[in-house]
Chains A and B, each alone.
Chain A
Amino acid sequence: MNVPDNLRYSTDHEWIRSDGDRVRVGITDYAQDALGDVVFVELPAEGATVAAGGTLGEVESTKSVSEIYAPVGGEVVAVNRALSDAPEQVNQDPYGEGWICEILPSDPSAVDGLLDAEAYRQLTAG
């Protein structure tokens, strides 16, 4: 499984990339592989306020539905509308074109409490 060194991770299999004030959020390679072919993504509303651990949206594959949880609390400032017509991007490019949304964290230091790549590799090993 691909676990890029420059990202942070949640125990619920989201990845987080810091980009200035905001963070970009998606689901990990491990998560997309476990889901199988993604056919539908329910995106959060732009402008919505989410609590850390709150529901951001849903990812549905041909075999199951999974919730996406907010790794950090804050305001949703952007969503990846391209997934409405091309949800397969979540499988094909989970850390790139398959991103889910961007959040302006209410507590910028919250990102520091997330897993680093090595810790996430250990979580998903075996």
Chain B
Amino acid sequence: MNEASADSGNSSVPELGHSLRQTPLFDAHRGLGAKLVGFGGWEMPLAYPGGTLAEHRACRTEAVAFDVSHLGTVRVSGTDGFDRLQAALSNDLRRVGPGRAQYTHLLSEDDGSVVDDIIVWWVSDDVFDVMPNASNTARVVDAIGGEDTTETRAIIAVQGPMARSRLGTILPGAAAVPRFGVAGFEWEGVPCLVAGTGYTGEDGVECAVPADTAESLWAAILGTGVQPAGLGARDTLRLEAALPLHGHELGPGITPLQAGLGWVIGWDKPAFRGRDALLAEKNAGPRRLLVGLATEGRQPPREGSPVTKGSKIVGTVTSGNFSPMLEHGIALALVDTTAGVSPETTLAIEQRGRAMTATVVKTPFVRAGQWAIGN
């Protein structure tokens, strides 16, 4: 037995050694017997002893907690904060207001492709917590300014249909934050922040807690019957929900229009980074689009596999896996618009010399809760 090709969409580059950063919850993960993996420069739990599939099902049926402290936080404050964000990021903050969170993109000036996808927590009038992907924090600071506060806090995501009821037994205020709302709460007398956001397709919240206090909050959340879950389940959950992962469905060369995320663009804004390039693409029509594919068997489609229609290659799988809820393979793929595919079109995924029949389907693949990114 030997590893032929290991790529999950989780850890495409092996990261070993002692240069990895550790979150304030690292000791807690080790104590729980987590299998650890390098991801985005951080040493993170891949799965706890129960395994990825059990964690996935627990999130769809009950509630799980993830350590997502590896996401960056950039605090932007001051009277010019609003204008700086409006100029740098694609979405329009005028759609929301203080006490709300917004999903948005940082685009490339050159081609409108996605430098990073970001959640902005609008904390109070002149205070914004901008949350990029782990490895993109420096790029976001370059574009917007602000202070990298990642080291000062942990972020705990509590997700699942019972996330709010279980969290509510210890923190009723935090558990009541509206979907895409942002609010303050206190844990052991220390001020914290909570947002009604997540990355699983389920209802839930994300709590930002000062680093020193994080371990006690994590333990208290697990004490309510919420199970810990790792990056493995985070990836299969977000794929079932068809939520994009930077470096896969978004990234260099891939625009929000190609990824089907046109609603992230605040076209009413006179200017933002990448607007001109994106407008040109909008007028010409994107050359490829992200589609959902469902296969018949259990074999997981894998990133990078060609997608064919008849004898012609028409696209590439950007993420694929076994769907624990549907019990067959699912994938997201960028497919040429000239191929003329629509829901129910039959395509094939070519993998290690074999072709798997793949049907174009509407996404999300699983809509257990009604929650997806959006606002």
Contacts and interface: CB of A to CB of B under 8 A. Distances in A.
Contacts, number: 74
B51 A37 contact: yes
Interface stretch (B167-175, B297-305, B338-346, B360-368): B297-305
Contacts of A62: 8, 52-53, 232, 235-236, 300, 321-322
A65 B1 contact: no
Contact of B52 (A37, A59, A60, A68): A37
Interface in A78-106: 87-88, 91
Interface in B318-345: 321-322
Contact of A64 (B6, B235, B236): B6
Interface string B11-33: 10000000000000000000000
Given A36-B46, A37-B51, A64 B5 contact: yes
Contacts of A10: 1
Nearest to B6: A64
A64 B322 contact: no
B11 to A, nearest CB: 8
A63 B46 CA distance: 10
B299 A12 contact: no
B268 interface: no
Interface string B234-255: 0110000000000000000000
A44 to B, nearest CB: 14
Contacts of A66: 1-4
Contact of A42 (B5, B6, B236, B299): B299
B298 A39 contact: yes
Contacts of B300: 39-40, 60, 62, 65
A118 interface: no
A104 B217 CA distance: 58
Given A36-B46, A37-B52, A91-B51, A13 B1 contact: yes
Interface residues of B, number: 26
A60 B1 contact: no
Nearest to A27: B1
B7 A12 contact: no
B269 interface: no
A88 B299 CA distance: 13
A117 to B, nearest CB: 17
B1 A87 contact: no
Q: Say which size band chain A's interface belongs to.
A: 20 to 34
B10 interface: yes
Contacts of A51: none
A40 B2 contact: no
B232 A36 contact: yes
B298 A40 contact: yes
Nearest to B4: A67
B47 interface: yes
B298 A87 contact: yes
A52 to B, nearest CB: 14
B287 interface: no
Nearest to B321: A62
A66 B302 CA distance: 13
Point out which of A42, A63, A65, A67 has the most chain B C-beta atoms below 10 A from its C-beta: A63
Contacts of B139: none
B4 A39 contact: no
A36 B52 contact: yes
Nearest to B10: A63
A110 to B, nearest CB: 18
Contacts of B299: 40, 42, 60
B1 A64 contact: no
A58 interface: yes
B282 interface: no
B229 to A, nearest CB: 13
The 4 closest A-B pairs by CB, nearest first: A64-B6, A63-B8, A39-B322, A40-B298
Interface of B: 1-8, 10-11, 35, 46-47, 51-53, 232, 235-236, 297-300, 302, 321-322
30 contacts: A10-B1, A12-B1, A12-B2, A36-B46, A36-B52, A36-B232, A37-B51, A37-B52, A37-B232, A39-B53, A40-B298, A40-B300, A40-B322, A42-B299, A58-B4, A59-B1, A60-B300, A62-B8, A62-B52, A62-B53, A62-B321, A62-B322, A64-B5, A64-B7, A65-B3, A65-B6, A65-B300, A65-B302, A67-B2, A69-B1
